[in-house]
Amino acid sequence: MNQTELPECEKINKKEPSKDVQMTQEQADSLVEHLKNIFMYVRVLRPDEIGDFIIDEENGKLCECYTVWNKAMPCLNCISEKALREKSQKSKLECIASNVYQVIARYVEIEGEPCVIEMINRLDDETLMDSEGRQNLVSKLNSYSEELYRDALTGVFNRRYFEDQIRDASFCCGVAMIDLDDFKLYNDTYGHNAGDMALDTIVKTVNRCTRRTDRLIRLGGDEFLLVLPEMDEENFVQKLKQIQSQIHEAQVPGYSKMRLSVSVGGVLTRDETIGEAAMRADQLMYLAKQRKNMVVTEKDQILGCQDDVVRQENRREKQRILIVDDVISTGGSLHALETLAAKSTGTVVGCCAALAEGDAAKRTDIFFLEPLPLFLH
């Protein structure tokens, strides 16, 4: 084809004028039949079917849609989900080995019901470019993705990956927030290189404990997000405790005196996005942080295993304060201390002094040991 000719999958967008989003079932069926002449896969999805199944024509059976891309879990950048949410048309490229696929998701309303028409085509040499050009495109796309979504220090996914690809995704998984205890102390005591080595040790330890389909994301500083797809509660809790324990036992290369520990909060997703689950996990991580080197999950909350942390917080909020002075006369100094104590979270339970001068000895609101006689000239 010449350089100005469009790939077939783009021609359809040019040939077919934009139709009204609302259509009847008959109109939808007609549109789907027309699209099947152009695309490898065409299907209509209801909201509860997105990320579900498609027909594997080669093997003649149903398969989960993401297995087409040789993935073990739903795409985190599912354009069908985005098209449904934004009521628009979305498209993306998927690179598998040396093949490039274009995926298009179009929002429609069939008989008043929100749906998405999903279309997939493989871009071959004739519709895309020559073989060498395609290899260059695949290489550049993969390189761009790596640079864009990888943390330069640790090599794991970064915050941009979380915000662009995973925050708004919704699927069954375990979500954990992992925070390195006393990270600033390591930096101040041993230097920033030691802090970097500590982070690298944590990443390597977590990677040894997790699967290929799990995702570790460095959100910033010493804070990590871990996503564990298709994980039941028992295995999820065991996995987090394994990670916490192995990090505590790990040796930081070049810093034999450093002993690492992490605080971990974990939840299983409900009907929510990964971002929403991460916020709940962060709250549990804060509870774990009060004691450090521990894991707190929703199961712990139900069983009351974090009661010690809560009681510790309550004691801090309800500290009892006793104000002590050496000598009182008008009581002005004690009053000033009471005013200062009122700004704290504690409660003043009494005022006392070693000696009471003059009329202060007659006061009943202040305890003292001995009256101090006045010496008159």
Between residues 37 and 239, the one the model is more confident about = 239
For the chain, the structural domain boundaries read 8-130, 162-314, 318-372
Taking 80 as the threshold, does the pLDDT of residue 230 lie above it? yes
pLDDT over 90, % of the chain: 29
Taking 60 as the threshold, does the pLDDT of residue 237 lie above it? yes
> Torsions phi, psi of 71, nearest 5?
-110, 155
Could you tell me which CATH class the domain 8-130 is placed in?
alpha beta
According to DSSP, the β-strands at 367-372 and 320-328 are: unpaired
Token pair 């949410």: residue: 85
Separation CA 329–CA 323 (nearest Å): 15
Closest CA relative to residue 173, chosen from 224, 130, 219, 231: 231
Separation CA 288–CA 296 (nearest Å): 6
Residue pair 252/194 in contact by the 8 Å Cβ criterion: yes
304: region left, alpha or beta (phi > 0 left; psi from -120 to 50 alpha): left
Q: What is the pLDDT of residues 7-20, one digit of tens each?
A: 433 333 333 434 45
Strand-pairing partners, residue 158, are 218
Separation CA 41–CA 36 (nearest Å): 7
Taking 50 as the threshold, does the pLDDT of residue 205 lie above it? yes
Q: What is the pTM of this model?
A: 0.51
Residue pair 225/173 in contact by the 8 Å Cβ criterion: no
Tokens of 223: 């804070």
The answer to whether domain 162-314 has CATH 2.60.120.10 is no
Top mean pLDDT of 6-15, 228-237, 297-306, 345-354 is at 228-237
Separation CA 97–CA 125 (nearest Å): 14
Separation CA 91–CA 79 (nearest Å): 7
Query: Rounded mean pLDDT of the chain?
Result: 76
Residue pair 92/118 in contact by the 8 Å Cβ criterion: no
Taking 50 as the threshold, does the pLDDT of residue 360 lie above it? yes
Please state the separation of Cα 76 from the chain's center in Å: 13
92 pLDDT band (50/70/90 cuts)? Answer: confident
What is the length of the chain? 377
Between residues 232 and 362, the one the model is more confident about = 232
Taking 50 as the threshold, does the pLDDT of residue 233 lie above it? yes
According to DSSP, the β-strands at 99-110 and 113-123 are: antiparallel
